[in-house]
Amino acid sequence: MAGVLLAVSFPKFGHAAFAWIALTPLLVAVHRQPMLRAASLGFVAGVVYFGATLYWITLVMVVYGDVPLAAAVLINIALVAYLALFPVIFAMVMARLTAANGARALLTAPIVWVATELGRTYLLTGFPWVLLGYSQVSVLPVAQLASVFGVFGLSALVASVSATLAFAAVLANPSPAGVRSGRVSRNAFLPLAVSLGLVAMTAIWGSLRIRQGTLLTSGEAVRVGLLQGNVAEADRWQDQKAAEVFRRYLDMSRQAVAGGASFVVWPESATPYPFGEDINATDQMRGLARRLNVPVLIGSDQIVHGGETKYYNAAFLIRPDGSEGGVYRKMHLVPFGEYVPARHLFFFMSRIVQAVSDFSAGESIEVLPVDGHKVSTSICYEIVYPNLVRQFTAAGSELLTTITNDSWFGATSAPYQHFAQASMRAIENGRFLVRAANTGISGIVDPYGRVTARSGLFEPAVIVGDARFLRESTIYARTGDLLAYGCAVLTVVLLVGAVRSSRMKYTEF
C-alpha cells in the first residue's frame, strides 16, 4: 500500500494528496519488527514505488537503444531493485529505532527518510527521481518551503504527516503492539495536530509570499523564445532529413523573434551538425543570430580534437554579433544513455550511446552572457540535481534555462515528471526557469513555481513569453542542502543511540 501511494503521488497519473499519507502503512508495518522482516517490507514498498514510476525505462532502451526486450526488462528490474534498497534502509532503521525507543521513534521518520533521499541523490552517480517533495510542486503555497530548505525540506514536511499518522495508529491500536493507556491514547493525536498545524502555517506563509510577488517586479524583463521542433530521434541521424531538421529550427527562430523574443533557446542536441564541425551549418547559426540581432542558445554535440578526441553534450551561446559567447559542457551524464560504465561488461548496450564514442563529462560550472546578464543552462536530467543548479545561481546566474530531448520517453509519465522536477528549481533558487524540449514539455516557470507558458507533447511549438533576470538570493540558494545533511547526521546519531540502548538493556537483563 505504501508503494502504491508513493507511486500515485506523481504525474501523470497521480495526485499530490496521496503523498501525505504514503509512508504511514510502511511505518505501521515495520514498527518493532525484526530487521529481516522490516527489510522485506521496505523492499516490497520500494519495488512498487519505483517500478510504477520508472516503467518507461524499458521503452527507452528497446525503442532508442536497440536493446532486446528481455535484456531491457532485466536492466529496468535491476535499477528498480537498486533504488528499492533505499526504502529498505529506511524500513530497517525505523524498525531498529522503534525497537529501542517505542512508538515515539516513529516521529523521527522524516529525518530518516530525507537521509535516504540524500543518499539516493549521490550514491553511484545518483538518481534523485521522484523524491517525495517533488509531489508538491503544483501545490504552490506549500511548495514555497523549497525556497528555504529545498526539495528535501518539502520531503520532510510531507513525511511528517505520515509519521504522526503512524504514531497515532500505533498508540490507538489495542493490540499488544499498541499502548492501552487512556492517557497515552488521548495524546496519540497531538503530534498529528502539531504536524498539520505546521503544514497550515507553511501554506499560509507560502500564500503570502506568492501574493507579495516581489520577484515579479524586480530585475530586468526579457522576452524568451523557446523552440520545440518535435523531431523524431531517428530523423536527426539520417542525412536526407538532417538538412530539413536544421532548416526547421532556423525558421522557428525567425518566428520567435517575429513574436517579440529577444533571446532564443533551442533544445538539447537540436542541430544534427555538431557546432564548429560543419562550417556551413555553423556559419548559418552565427548568421542567424546576426540577422535577428538576438542571442541564441543552441544545444549541440561538441567534438574536441587533440591527442584523444572527446565528445561533449553541450550548449553554445551565440551573441547578436554572431560571435561565440561561451559553451557549457554537460557535467552529469546519464549512465547507459551518454556513456556506458564498464563497457566491456555491458557490450550489448553500447548501441544506446548516440555518438561515435562515449560522451565526456564537463568539468566546470559555466554561466553564459546574455545582454549584460548571466544565464545558466542545465542539460537534460541535470535539472533534477538540486545542488548542481544551486551552484549555477551561486556563480551569478540570473535566469535558469534547461534544454532537453525527452523524445526518448515517449508518451509516458516521464516527461511530466521531468517538467515538474525542473519547476522545483525555480522555487528553490528564486529564478525564472525556461525550458526548451525537443518534443515537449517546453515552458516558462516563474520564481514561485507558476507555469506561465507550456506546450503539449509531440507537437511543434514556438513559445514566446516573459521572464526576468533576477539577482536576489533565496535562503536555499545561500545555504543549500544543510537540512538534508543534518538529517543524515541525526540519523547516524539516532542509530548509535538505539544500539547503545539495546546493549544496556541486554546487559541489565
**CA–CA gap between residue 4 and residue 22 (Å, rounded):** 8
Same domain, 303 and 210: no
* Domains held by the chain: number: 2
Query: Could you confirm whether 268 is annotated as catalytic?
Result: yes
**Beta-carbon count within 10 A of 332 CB:** 18
pLDDT score recorded for residue 503: 65
**CA–CA gap between residue 94 and residue 119 (Å, rounded):** 16
Backbone angles phi, psi at 104, to 5 degrees: -60, -25
Check if the beta carbon of residue 150 is closer than 8 Å to that of residue 132.
no
Residue 335 lies in a domain: no
Residue 355 lies in a domain: no
Q: Please, which pLDDT band fits residue 351 given cuts at 50, 70 and 90?
A: low
Same domain, 108 and 11: yes
Same domain, 88 and 155: yes
Residue 495 lies in a domain: yes
Same domain, 235 and 193: no
CA separation (Å) from 499 to 40, 89, 119, 343, 502? 21, 16, 22, 42, 5
The more confident residue out of 306 and 207 is 207
Q: Please, which pLDDT band fits residue 504 given cuts at 50, 70 and 90?
A: low
Question: Each residue of 165-211: pLDDT tens digit?
Answer: 999 999 987 555 444 444 556 688 999 999 999 999 999 999 999 99
Same domain, 176 and 260: no
Mean pLDDT, range 490-495, rounded to an integer: 96
pLDDT score recorded for residue 463: 98
Residue 341 lies in a domain: no
Query: Could you confirm whether 233 is annotated as catalytic?
Result: no
Pair type for strands 433-437 and 443-445: antiparallel
Catalytic, out of 117, 330, 374, 428: 330
pLDDT score recorded for residue 353: 43
Catalytic, out of 366, 380, 398, 487: 380
Same domain, 372 and 445: yes
The more confident residue out of 357 and 484 is 484
CA separation (Å) from 498 to 45, 94, 96, 105, 507? 24, 10, 7, 10, 14
Catalytic, out of 268, 338, 366, 382: 268
Q: Please, which pLDDT band fits residue 284 given cuts at 50, 70 and 90?
A: very high
Same domain, 271 and 415: yes
- For 425, the domain range is 220-330+366-471
Question: Each residue of 387-423: pLDDT tens digit?
Answer: 999 999 999 999 999 999 998 888 899 999 999 999 9
Residue type, 162: S
Taking the model in full, what pTM does it have? Answer: 0.93
Same domain, 175 and 27: yes
Same domain, 501 and 454: no
Locate 130 and state its grid cell: 521522484
**CA–CA gap between residue 355 and residue 277 (Å, rounded):** 14
pLDDT score recorded for residue 125: 85
Query: Could you confirm whether 487 is annotated as catalytic?
Result: no
- The share of the chain scoring above pLDDT 70, in percent, equals 91
Q: Please, which pLDDT band fits residue 24 given cuts at 50, 70 and 90?
A: very high
Q: Please, which pLDDT band fits residue 233 given cuts at 50, 70 and 90?
A: confident
pLDDT score recorded for residue 150: 98
Mean pLDDT, range 304-325, rounded to an integer: 92
Whether residue 12 is preceded by a cis peptide bond, meaning omega within 30 degrees of 0, is yes
Angle, helices 414-429/386-394, rounded to nearest 10 degrees: 40
**CA–CA gap between residue 459 and residue 440 (Å, rounded):** 8
pLDDT score recorded for residue 239: 72
Mean pLDDT, range 325-353, rounded to an integer: 70
What is residue 346's DSSP assignment?
Answer: -
Question: Each residue of 418-431: pLDDT tens digit?
Answer: 999 999 999 999 99
Same domain, 451 and 489: no
Same domain, 139 and 102: yes
pLDDT score recorded for residue 179: 46
Average pLDDT for the chain: 91
Residue 361 lies in a domain: no
Here the CATH number for the domain that contains residue 458 is: 3.60.110.10
pLDDT at 358 over 80: no
pLDDT score recorded for residue 347: 54
Residue 184 lies in a domain: yes
Residue 344 lies in a domain: no
Question: Each residue of 100-132: pLDDT tens digit?
Answer: 999 999 999 999 999 999 999 999 889 999 999
Q: Please, which pLDDT band fits residue 458 given cuts at 50, 70 and 90?
A: very high
The more confident residue out of 120 and 241 is 120
Q: Worst-scoring range by mean pLDDT, 71-80, 191-200, 255-264, 290-299?
A: 71-80
pLDDT score recorded for residue 60: 82
Residue 428 lies in a domain: yes
**Among the listed residues 241, 326, 320, 338, the one whose alpha carbon sits nearest the alpha carbon of residue 275:** 326
Same domain, 451 and 495: no
The more confident residue out of 176 and 98 is 98
Residue type, 359: F
Coil/strand/helix, residue 399? strand
